[in-house]
Amino acid sequence: MLRVAVVQFAPAFGDPARNLATMLALLDAARAAHIVIFPELATTGYFFQSRQEVAAVAEPVDGPTLERLRREAQWRQQVLVVGFAEQADRRLYNAAAVLLPGEEHCIVYRKTHLFYKEKLCFDPGDTGFPVVYIPALDVRLGVMICYDWRFPEAARTLALQGAELIACPSNLVTEAWEMVMPVRALENKVYLAVANRTGVEERGGERLIFRGKSAVYAYTGHPLCRANAEETTVLLAEIEPEQTRTKAFDPLDDLFADRRPEYYRL
């Protein structure tokens, strides 16, 4: 049995120091979890209007904010998944880091499908969809970010690589995802943890409302826990990753063995 926490809060725009302090306080409430998942761009806020704005707060993976969280992962012996703005040479990515206790280097996923004004502010991700095996927890953890949910290929690619739990740091601004995320879990027979943010960002004459409702979905598509639209909270779910290792859902039917890729066009 593995305990997964999703953290829901409203990151402050352009203020990594304040967000780090909030995240550290919320980690105290997530103390019982083996894996803790924070929202997309949790360290910086979301609604950037230009690359210059991103560059002002983006950090490399070994920058001060992630380094502080890496030490926290080590001290707490927890795996942390953190959405952040990554600067790598001249490139800027909407990224998520997987910080592993006992590991100097973290795994980074750079968002594949950029949404709306992200296209003006970030470079498209070039990492593909990573799956990391964590021996101490005997789980295979995959990562995608927010808008990736609209592309069934993202979760399917992670599942085909063996992901048993998909972490999905998010800043969701529509409501359609509530119908679809459980389906991503069910159609791949994986657990799916959505850490969404709350709050409002008004920038460039536009207002984005982030509607929370973070959740952990079982491989059946049923929610194991769910937050409301506005609360700052840490949700905890117990999962059994070994249940996802066979894709059979009855004695004759198997989601992966029954695939007919020769008839698919991707």
Q: Rule CB under 6 A: which residues touch ligand ACM? A: 40, 115, 146-147, 171-173
Nearer to ligand ACM by C-beta: 40 or 53?
A: 40
Min CB(101)–ligand ACM separation in Å? 28
Compare residues 97 and 134 and give the one whose CB is closer to ligand ACM: 97
Q: What is the spatial order of strands in the sheet that 223-226 belongs to?
A: 131-134, 139-143, 165-169, 191-195, 215-217, 223-226
Closest distance to ligand ACM from the beta carbon of 118 (Å): 7
Clarify whether 117 is annotated catalytic. no
Tell me which of 40, 59, 72, 164 is the catalytic residue.
40
Q: Which residues contact 46 (CB under 8 A, 6 or more apart)?
A: 11, 13, 40, 171, 197, 201, 208, 210
Catalytic annotation on 202? Answer: no
Tell me whether residue 146 or residue 237 sits nearer to ligand ACM (CB atom).
146
Q: Name the catalytic one among 53, 59, 106, 111.
A: 111
Q: Which position's Cβ is nearest ligand ACM?
A: 147
Nearer to ligand ACM, 139 or 145 (CB): 145
Long-range contacts of 174-179 (CB under 8 A, 24+ apart): 175/211, 177/149, 178/213
Cβ at position 183, least distance to ligand ACM in Å:
18
**Distance between CA atoms of residues 9 and 83, nearest Å:** 13
Q: How far apart are CA 7 and CA 29, in angstroms?
A: 9
Q: Would residue 121 show up in a list of annotated catalytic residues for this protein? A: no
> Catalytic: which of 106, 121, 146, 168?
146
Classify residue 74 as left (phi > 0), alpha (psi -120 to 50) or beta.
alpha
Residue numbers annotated as active site: 40, 111, 146
